[in-house]
Structure 1
Amino acid sequence: MIPYEITWGGRLKSDIEMYVFETISILINLLLFSILLIKGRYVKEYLSMKVVDIILWIFIILFGLNTIGNILAETIFEKFFTLLTLAFAMLLWIILNKDKNRAHN
């Protein structure tokens, strides 16, 4: 639907590269989704909460770097995603600090 030339910073040069990058992207999103389910205690905790928190911090860093990359993007289409990646980073920050706020109250 969306031409691959205007995504991934314009780095993709073929359909094969797009399929590889998008497959990796989907797998990473599934990882984030499963980690959030564990954090919310919606599924059995097969990782310790400390590991879950570390993974979420890594995602905050990735979303932060992605936000910077989107700001510096060449196309308006990718610049638009600055708001989305910044929102994701902020929401993860809130999720991670929610437990700390409960402990202080």
Structure 2
Amino acid sequence: MKPSIAIKMVLGIIIAVILFHLCILLKVIPYEITWGGRLTNDTEMYIFETFSIGLNLILGLAVLIKGKLIKPFLSIKVVNVVLWIFLVLFVLNTVGNLFAKTNFEKAFSILTLALSVFLWMILKKKTS
């Protein structure tokens, strides 16, 4: 798979994930099925969901810069470090999702594994 396709796949997944987290914030989707079933109240949900949306926006910006889809405002070295951090986080999250309390969240291990693979493909891409 070409890195450009991996970039588009990651961006598509990020958009879907942000929409998912917005649905949780708006209480369209119950928060009990997320975060390993460990959230106990609305305050925790608002904090965790806002944090998650922020992280996804950071990842999206890094991928957009790496894919040369926006004008870089960070060096490529910083972007690569950010992407490596996310790669490690997604690998760890894949393992964590396998041990989640809900089957719904266990299914997300497929998504986090896919993101790990796509990020690996993007990071292998040579930049000029």
Normalized against structure 2, the TM-score is what? 0.74
Measure how far apart 1:43 and its partner are. 1.3
Distance 2:111 2:35 in 1: 15
What RMSD, in angstroms, separates the aligned Cα atoms of the two structures? 1.4
Pick 1 or 2: higher relative contact order, CA cutoff 8 A, min separation 6.
2
Q: Structure 2: which 5+ runs fail to align?
A: 1-27
| Pairing of 1:44-55 with structure 2 (within 5 A) | 44-55=71-82
2:66 to 36, 39, 45: 39
Q: How many residues of Structure 1 are paired with residues of Structure 2 in the alignment? A: 101
Deviates more, 1:1-10 or 1:55-64: 1-10
Aligned-pair identity (%): 58
Larger radius of gyration, structure 1 or 2? 1
Render the CA deviation track for 1:16-68: whole Å, top value 9, x for unaligned. Answer: 11111111111111111111111011111111111111110000000011000
Poorly superposed stretches of 4+, deviation over 6 Å: none
Alignment map for 1:1-105 (pairs within 5 Å): 1-99=28-126
Q: 1:6: how far off?
A: 2.0
Q: Give 1:99 deviation, angstroms.
A: 1.4
